[in-house]
């Protein structure tokens, strides 16, 4: 088991890095392509009618507009989550949990990069680090606009629930149940 742990740490970090790169590249594309289009009043690009659109949003909060104005708090939470995941990865014995935690880490860091590197959202004043907006550009009906990092976070959360329900322990050992 000990010889597997370094590989699982690297798997976690590798998944996280892949998510971060894809997230940041797609956000750069959205900034270069979609932001000018939306600013010019042209509207979103309909990929699959009104079911899937590409648009541009400067998100200073979380989904559904929750927490706008508390960008700094989301930056702190993402940093704490990243540290906890990295510490947890040293105890992993399960490849599936390494993938799930890597996706969560990549998503958290992808959005944290935005919050640390971008200016505050439109109409907001800069009041310190961690105030930047997150680039969101994928739109489904009746759902907030999101990005690749958000997809990784949600996908990882779903995988974690499935692993928990199926009894897969982070350690890689089968869950011991006692019949009473």
Active-site pick, 23, 114, 136, 179: 136
Q: Are 150 and 107 in contact, with CB atoms under 8 Å apart?
A: yes
Phi, psi for 43 (deg, rounded to 5)? 85, 175
Nearest-angstrom CA–CA distance, 18 and 3: 24
150 catalytic, yes or no? yes
Cβ neighbours of residue 86 closer than 8 Å, sequence gap 6 or more = 105
Nearest-angstrom CA–CA distance, 4 and 132: 39
Nearest-angstrom CA–CA distance, 6 and 13: 11
What's the DSSP call for residue 169?
A: -
Known catalytic residues? Answer: 136, 150
């Amino acid at each position: 088991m000990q010889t597997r742990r370094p590989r699982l740490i690297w798997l976690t970090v590798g998944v996280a890095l892949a998510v971060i790169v894809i997230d940041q590249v797609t956000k750069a594309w959205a900034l270069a392509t979609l932001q000018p289009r939306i600013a010019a009043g042209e509207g979103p690009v309909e990929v699959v009618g009104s079911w899937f659109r590409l648009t541009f949003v400067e998100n200073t909060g979380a989904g559904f507009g929750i927490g706008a104005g508390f960008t700094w708090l989301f930056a702190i939470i993402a940093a704490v989550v990243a540290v906890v995941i990295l510490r947890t990865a040293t105890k992993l014995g399960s490849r599936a949990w390494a993938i799930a935690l890597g996706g969560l880490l990549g998503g958290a860091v992808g959005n944290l990069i935005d919050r640390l590197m971008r200016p505050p959202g439109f109409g907001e004043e800069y009041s310190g680090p961690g105030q930047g907006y997150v680039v969101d550009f994928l739109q489904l009906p009746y759902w907030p606009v999101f990005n690749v990092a958000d997809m990784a976070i949600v996908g990882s959360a779903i995988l974690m629930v499935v692993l928990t329900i199926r009894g897969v322990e982070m350690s890689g050992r089968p869950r011991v149940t006692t019949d009473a």
